[in-house]
Structure 1
Amino acid sequence: MNPSPDNSGAETHADARPALRELRPYLALMREHRGWLGVGALLALITLLAATGLLALSGWFLSATAVAGLSVAATQAFNFFTPAAGVRGLALARTAGRYGERLTTHEGTLRLLASLRRRLFEAIEPLSPAALQHAGQGELMTRLGADVDALDSLYVRVLIPSLVALCAVLAAGTLIGIFAPVLAAVAILGLTITGGLVPWLAWWRGSADAMRHQASASQLRARLLERLQGLGELVIYGRWASELAGLSEQQAARDDIELAQARRHALANWLSHTLLGLTLAGIALLGVMQMSPSASNTVGGASALDGRLLALFLLAVLGAFEALAPLPLAWQGLGRCLSAAARLNRVQANTPAPLFPAEQKSAPPEGDDLKIQQLNVRHGDTTVLDDFTLSLESGEHLALLGPSGSGKSTLLDVLCRFHAPASGTVTLGGVPLESLEESTLRASFAVCPQDTHLFCASFADNLRLASPTASDDTLMAMLESLGLGEWLARQPEGLASFPDEGGRSLSGGQLRRFGVARALLCPAPIVLLDEPCEGLDRASAEQVMTAILTACQGRSLIMITHQPLGLERFARLALLEAGCLKEDATPTTLNTGSRLARLMARA
C-alpha cells in the first residue's frame, strides 16, 4: 500500500474559497458540445413555457367555464373546443419537450464529462513519478471520478435552470402584462426576488460548506480506496481497527456538513415559498381590486379586470415558480463545482513542459554503451544519489545490490527519464539522454519495475505490448522458461484468457514473473529489471535467473536485487549504499573482505 500524504487540512484550506474563474476552462469546453447543450437548453425552455401555459390556460378555462355555466345563452356561446385543444396541445408539448430535454441534456452532459475525463487523463498520463509524489493512486482516481462527476451539475443544475428561470419570469410577466401591467409588475418583482435573492443567499451562506463537503468527500473516498487496497496488510498487522475508527470519524465530520447543508436548504425553501405566497397574495388582492369598476381608478387607472383572468395570472406565477424552486439548492451546491474545478485545475497545472525534444538534436547513439558520471539526484531536500558514477559496456551484465532506500530504483527512473538529476550526465552510445527523442529512448530500454500492471486485455495482448509481432509459441515459451507453464495450463483459454482488474487473479510472484516476461520479450538492447526474484522461493528464483540471463545474451542488463543468489553468473557487481557507489568489481576480482564477497559467500 502506498497511501498519499495526509494533506486533508491543506486541501480543505486550499479549497476554502476558490474563485469563479476556476470554472472558465469548463465553460470553454462546453463550446465543443454546444449543439447538444444548446438543443437541450431550448427544449428545457419549451418544456417550461408549455407547463406554464398549460397551468395558465387551464386556470382560465376552468374560470371561464364556470362563468359560462351561469346562463344558457352564455353556455351556448362559449367555445369549449379551442381551449380544450390548447390544453391537450400544451400537455403533449410539455411531455415531448421533457423527454427531448432529458435526452439531449444528458447526452450533451455525458459527452462533456467524457471530454473532461480525456483531457484530465491526458494531463496526468505524461506526469513523471516525481510530479505525482504529492498524490497517491486513490487521490488521482478520485479526481478522475468524483471531481469530474461533480461538474455535471454545473450545466444540468445551475446554468440551464438559471437561464430557464430567467425566461420563465419574463414569460409570466409578459403574459400577465398583456392584460394587467400593474399585476405584471408585482409578479415580476416577486419572482425576481424569489429567483435572485434566495439563490444568492443560498450561495453566500452555503458555498463554503459545499466546498468543504466536496473536499471532505474526495479525501474520504481516496483514503478508503487506499486502505481497502492494503486491507490484508492492515489486518495482519492489527491496524485495521484504528484505520476504521479514523474513517468513521472522517465520515462523521462529513455528515455534520451535510446536516448543516440540509438546514440551509430547508431555510431557503421556506423563504422561497413565503415570497411566493406573498406574491400570489399581492396579485390576488390587486386583481380583486381591479375587478371592480369603481376601484379601477385607484389602481393605476386601468379598466376593470375580467375576473376570469385572475386564475390565469395566479397559475402563471405558480408555473414560473416551478423553474425557480430548484435554484437555491443548485446555487448552494455551486461550491462543490468550484472545489472540484480547483482540484482538477491543480492536477492539470502539474503537467510538465515537454522533456523530450520534438526532433533528434544530435546524431543517433553509436552502440549501447551506457555511461553515468557524477550523478546527483534529490527528492526535495533529500539526496538520493550522491556523485554516482558507473559505466556499462554493450552486452555487459551488471547486478546492482544494496539495501532498500539506497537509490537503486531511482537510478532506473533516471535512465527512463522519470526523474531529472540535479547534476551529472548520462549518455547512451555517446549521446546525452536529454538529447534523445522519446521514441528513441523508449526503444533503447526494456524495463520491469517492481509493480507490474495488467490491463483489461488478454494475457497475450498484455505480453504483446512489448513485442507486437510475437507468436503464441514465443509467448508460451517465455512464460514456461519463467516457471509459469503450469499456471498457463490452468487458464480456461490459455493466452486468450483475461486477468482480473490489475492482475489480481495472479499471485505476487506470478505477477512479478509476468512483468519479467514482458520485459524480456521487448527487443530493446538494454534490459532494466527491478527486483525480479523478490518473493520467490529459491528454486523459482534460480529458474527465473536462468531465463533472464539466457534471454539477455547479447544484450546489456542491469538487474537490481538485494539477494546474493546467482551473483557469480554476472560479469559485474556493484554495491549501492545511501546513494553512493561503495563497490564496483567482477566476481573474480572481489576483495575477500569486501561486502560483496561476504554476500556471495552467504549465497
Structure 2
Amino acid sequence: MPRLVKRYFCLLWQQRTMATLGLLLATITAISGIALLAVSGWFISATALAGLSIAGAHSFNYFAPGAIVRGLSITRTLGRYGERLTTHEATLRVISRLRAELFGELAKHSWQEQPLNNHDASSRLMEDIKHAEALYLSALVPGFVMLLCSLLYLITVSLFVPDIWIWLAPTLCIAVFFMPWLYMHLVLQPQDVLHQQRSQQWSSASSLFNNVRTLILFQRFTHSTQQLQQAASTADYSEQQASRAQQHVMSLSQLILAVQVLVMLWQGLLALSYGYIEGAHLFMLLLLTLGVQEVILTGVNSLANFGLGYTALKRIDYLASNISKKDQRQFVSADATVIKVTQLSYHYPQRQTLIIDKVNTELSAPHWYWITAPSGHGKTTFLHLLMGHLQPSDGTLLIEKSSAEQIGLMPQKIDLLRGTLRYNLCLHQQHSDETLQETLRLVELEHWFQQLPDGFDSWLGEGERMLSGGELKRLGLARLILQDPQILLLDEPTAGIDQLSAARILSKLHHHWKGKLVIINSHDSSLSCSTDKALTLNQLAEGVSEVQKII
C-alpha cells in the first residue's frame, strides 16, 4: 500500500470516534428513511383494508403505527443533522492535517523544471487532491451505508418470506459490487481522459493568445487555430462518449433494480397466495425494496469514487516522493565560506542545448561578485543552481562552511502577500518593531512606512495598498536582510529603483553585509564598488560559444 494511502487511513483512524459516529448516524438516517417509507405504506394499506369492515375499523390500532411514523421521521431528521455534523467534522480534521503535510512535502522540492510547473500537471494535482479529500465523505460513508442497508434488507424480507433471499441476493450483488466497478471503468476513466484533454486545450489556447503576433508573422496562425479547433472537437466527442456511457450504466442499474422489484413482487404474491403474509405486508415489502434501491443508486457512485480517491492518493504519493531530483550540492565544514564550481553544466528538460557548459570558478567571502550579461545567457539559472532550485546536469557544487539554510535568494519577481506589512516582512520569523524599522531604513522605505495608517499592521496586497515596482524590490531586499543568510544571491535587486537611490542602498548593504558572500546578477555593473569583483565570461566558462555562456 502506498505511503500516502497509509497516512490517510492513519489520520482517519486518529479521528475514529468522530468518523465511526458519522458512519452510525448516516446508517441510522438511511434506515429511518427506508423504514419510514415502508411503515407508512403498510399503515396506509392496512388502514384501507381495515376500513372495509366495521369490525376491522373499530379493532384496528391507529395510534401505535402513527407514533412509529412520527418517531422514524424525527429520527431521520435528527440523524441527518448529526450525520452532516460528524462526517464533515471528521473530514475537515483529516484533510486539514493531510493538506498541511502534503503541501509541506511538495514545498520541499523545486518545481521549476518539473512537470508540476505546467498547467496540465498542476490541474491534475488539484483534481487528485479533491478526490483524495472526499474519500471518506463521498465514498466510505455512502458505501458503508449501502452495504449495511442491503444486508439488513435481506434479513428483513427473509423474516417475512424465508426463501426469498436466494432470489434477491444475486441482483443485490450485481447492483452493489458489479455496477460500481462498471461505472468506474466505463464512466470515470473517460472522464479522466476528458479532463486531460480540456487541460491541454486550455494550455493550447493560452499559448495561442500569448503568441498571436509571432504566429501571424510566420504565417502559422491559421494552422494553430485549426489544431485548437481539432483538439476542441476531440474533447467534445470524449465528453459525449462519457455522458453516453454514464447514461448506459445508470439505465443498466435501473434495469437490475427493476428486476429486483419484479422478483420481490413475484415471491410476495406467492407468499400471499399461500397465506404466509398479508396484503399490507406485501405492499410494505415493495416499498422497502424501493427505499433500499434509492440508497443503492447513491452508493454506486460512492464505491466508484473510492477507486478514484485511492488512485489519486497513489498518484500524489508518487509525485511527492519520486519526481524531484536529489540535491546535488555538497556541504563541508571549513574555516571560511567558499563556493567551488567545477565543470558545471545544465540544460532545461525541454531543451537539449546546454545553457551552462563546463563552468569553473571559486567564490569566497567576504566579497561581492557581479555577474553581468544580456538576457537569456543563464545568469538567473546560475543563481538557481547555487540555491538548489535546479540540479546540475553535470559537474559539482561544493559549498564550504555554510549550510543550505544559510543561503538566501532574492528573486527577480517579488511576491506581495495579502496580509499586513509585518507578515510580508517577517514571513515565518519573529522580529521586533525596532529591527523592522532599522531594516526599512536600510532599504529607504522609512518615509513610505510613515505614511501607512496602521504602521506594521497596515494591510498590503490585492484589494488593499499596493506597492510600485521599486518599492517591491526594496521589500524583497528587506526580507533577505531579516533572514540574515551567510550567502546572499541577488537577482536584479535594483530593477525599478532609480540609480541614485540604488547606489545609496547598496552602499548601506555593503556595510551591513560585511563579511558575507554576496553574488549579484545585474544588467547595470556601474553600481558596483571598487572592492567588488566582476565575473567575466572567461572566468566562468571556457571553450563554449557566447550563446551557451551564462554571463
2:57 is matched by which residue type in structure 1?
Answer: T
Residue number in structure 1 paired with 2:467? 506
Residue of structure 2 in register with 1:460 after alignment: 422
Read off the aligned partner of 2:68 and give its amino acid letter.
Answer: G
Alignment check: 8 A CA contact 2:2 2:314 kept: no
Tell me which of 382, 385, 388 is aligned to 2:359: 388
Structure 2 residue 271 is matched with structure 1 residue 290: yes
Task: State whether structure 2 residue 50 is matched by structure 1 residue 68.
Answer: yes
Aligned with residue 410 of structure 2, among 448, 470, 482: 448
Contact 1:194 1:275 in 2 (8 A): yes
Q: Deviations over 1:467-503 (max 9, x none)?
A: 844534x534543554545543454434322221699
Question: How far off its partner does 1:127 sit?
Answer: 0.8
Once the 2 structures are TM-superposed, how far is the Cα of residue 174 of structure 1 from its aligned partner? 1.4
Q: Does 1:49 align with 2:31?
A: yes
**Residues 1:154 and 2:135 aligned together:** yes
Report the counterpart of residue 336 of structure 2 in structure 1: 367
1:409 aligns with 2:380: yes
> Could you say which residue in structure 2 is the equivalent of 1:527?
488
Displacement of 1:167 after TM fit?
1.7
Moved more, 323-332 or 512-521: 323-332
Q: Is the 8 A contact 1:386 1:579 kept in 2?
A: no
The answer for unaligned runs of 5 or more in structure 2 is: 544-550
What is the letter of the counterpart of residue 79 of structure 2? G
Structure 1 counterpart of 2:62: 80
Amino acid at match of 2:282: L
* Structure 1 CA distance for aligned equivalents of residues 190 and 472 of structure 2: 44
1:339 Cα deviation after fit: 5.7
5 Å-filtered alignment, 1:567-582, equals: 567-576=528-537, 580=541
In 2, are the aligned partners of 1:211 and 1:335 still within 8 Å (CA)? no
Question: Tell me, what secondary structure is at the counterpart of 2:335?
Answer: coil
In structure 2, what is the equivalent of residue 170 of structure 1?
151
From 305, 308, 313, give the equivalent of 2:280. 308
Q: Mean Cα displacement is larger for which, 304-313 or 462-471?
A: 462-471
Q: Distance in 1 between matches of 2:101 and 2:81?
A: 30
Change (3 A) 1:515 1:247: farther
Match of 1:341 in 2: 313
Instruction: Show the 5 A alignment for 1:548-587.
Output: 548-576=509-537, 580=541
Alignment deviations for residues 219-253 of structure 1 (CA, whole Å, 9 cap, x no partner): 677x49x959x99x7799899x9999988876665
Query: Structure 2: how far apart are the matches of 1:193 and 1:167?
Result: 15
Alignment of 1:178-217 (within 5 A): 178-216=159-197
Name the CA shift for 1:110/1:140 in 2 (closer, same or farther; >3 Å): farther
Is residue 368–residue 518 contact of structure 2 (8 Å, CA) maintained in 1? yes
Secondary structure at the aligned position of 1:52 is classed as: helix
Cα distance change on mapping 1:134 and 1:518 into 2, 3 Å: same
Is the 1:169–1:192 Cα contact (8 Å) retained in structure 2? Answer: no
> Which of 100, 104, 108 is matched with 1:118 structurally?
100
Whole-angstrom CA distance in 2 between matches of 1:330 and 1:217:
25
1:235/1:403 CA distance change after superposition, 3 Å: same
Tell me how far apart the structure 1 counterparts of residues 72 and 264 of structure 2 sit (CA, whole Å). 25
The 1:454/1:257 distance shift into structure 2, 3 A limit, reads: same
Determine if contact 1:47/1:98 at 8 Å carries over to the other structure: yes
Q: Output one character per residue of 1:544-574: Cα deviation in whole Å (capped at 9) or x when no partner.
A: 4434434334544222212232245343211
* Residue deviations 1:238-284 (CA, integer Å, cap 9, x gap): 99x99999888766655544433332222233223333333323322
Corresponding pairs, count: 535
2:546 paired residue number: none
> 1: CA distance between counterparts of 2:173 and 2:339?
73
Q: Kindly tell me: are residues 333 and 254 of structure 1, through their superposed partners in 2, closer, same or farther at Cα, counting changes over 3 Å?
A: farther
Among residues 270, 291, 298, which one is paired with 1:319 in the alignment?
A: 291
SS at 2:490 equivalent: strand
Which residue pairs with 2:548 in the alignment?
none
Output the amino acid matched with 2:518: L
Higher mean C-alpha deviation, range 168-177 or range 563-572: 563-572
2: CA distance, partners of 1:492 / 1:237:
47
Q: For 2:521, what is the secondary structure of its paired residue?
A: strand
Give me the whole-angstrom Cα distance separating, in 2, the residues matched to 1:320 and 1:466. 53
Q: Which moved more, 1:136-145 or 1:32-41?
A: 136-145
- Residue identity in the other structure for 2:158: G
Change beyond 3 A, Cα 1:51–1:426: same
Do the aligned partners of 1:520 and 1:527 also contact (CA within 8 Å) in 2? no
Against the structure 1 CA distance between its residues 356 and 457, is the aligned structure 2 distance closer, same or farther, given a 3 Å change threshold?
Answer: farther
Residues 1:355 and 1:365: Cα distance change in structure 2 (over 3 Å): same
> Contact 2:95 / 2:133 at 8 angstroms: preserved in 1?
yes
Change (3 A) 1:313 1:548: same
> Which residue of 2 is the match for residue 94 of structure 1?
76
**Paired-residue identity, %:** 28
Give the Cα–Cα distance (whole angstroms) in 2 for the partners of residues 22 and 466 of structure 1: 27
Q: Work out the CA distance in 2 between the residues paired with 1:73 and 1:91.
A: 30
* 1:43/1:412 CA distance change after superposition, 3 Å: same
Does the Cα contact within 8 Å between 1:210 and 1:333 map onto a contact in 2?
no
Q: How far apart in 2 are the matches of 1:72 and 1:171?
A: 37
Q: Which amino acid aligns with 2:369?
A: L
Shift of the 407–503 alpha-carbon distance from structure 1 to 2, 3 Å rule, reads: farther
Alignment of 1:39 with 2:21, yes or no, is: yes
CA distance in 1, matches of 2:87, 2:328: 41
Equivalent-residue separation in structure 1 for 2:225 and 2:540 (angstroms)? 38
**Where do 1:269-284 residues align within 5 Å?**
269-284=250-265
1:531 deviates by: 1.4
1:533 is paired with a residue whose SS is: coil
- Gap change, CA 1:413 and 1:150, over 3 Å in 2: same
- In structure 1, distance between residues paired with 2:194 and 2:313: 14
User: Does structure 2 retain, via aligned residues, the 8 Å contact 1:367–1:394?
Assistant: yes
Quickly say closer, same or farther: Cα 1:171–1:461, change in 2 above 3 A. closer
Instruction: Give the CA deviation at 1:209.
Output: 0.6
Tell me, what secondary structure is at the counterpart of 1:390? strand
Whole-angstrom distance in 1 between the partners of 2:92 and 2:229 = 33
2:110 is matched with: 128
Q: CA deviation at 1:313?
A: 0.9
Alpha-carbon distance between aligned partners in 2 of 1:98 and 1:184, rounded to the nearest angstrom: 29
CA offsets 1:99-133 (integer angstroms, 9 cap, x no match)? 11122122222223223322221221111356x53
Q: Distance in 2 between matches of 1:498 and 1:250?
A: 44
**Separation in 2 of the partners of 1:577 and 1:70?**
109
Deviation per residue, 1:388-443 (Å, 9 max, x gap) = 34344433222222333434334433433444553345243xx4xxxx6xxx4423
Letter paired with 2:22: G
Checking the alignment, whether the CA contact within 8 Å between 2:344 and 2:360 is kept in structure 1 is no
- Where does the alignment leave 5 or more consecutive residues of structure 1 unmatched? 1-18, 297-302, 583-598
2:368 is aligned with 1:397: yes
Distance 2:102 2:471 in 1: 33
Q: What is the DSSP-based 3-state SS (H/G/I as helix, E as strand, rest coil) of the residue aligned with 2:90?
A: helix
Distance 1:112 1:273, change over 3 A: same
1:158-184 per-residue CA deviation (whole Å, 9 max, x = no partner) reads: 333222222222212211111212344
Amino acid at match of 1:349: S
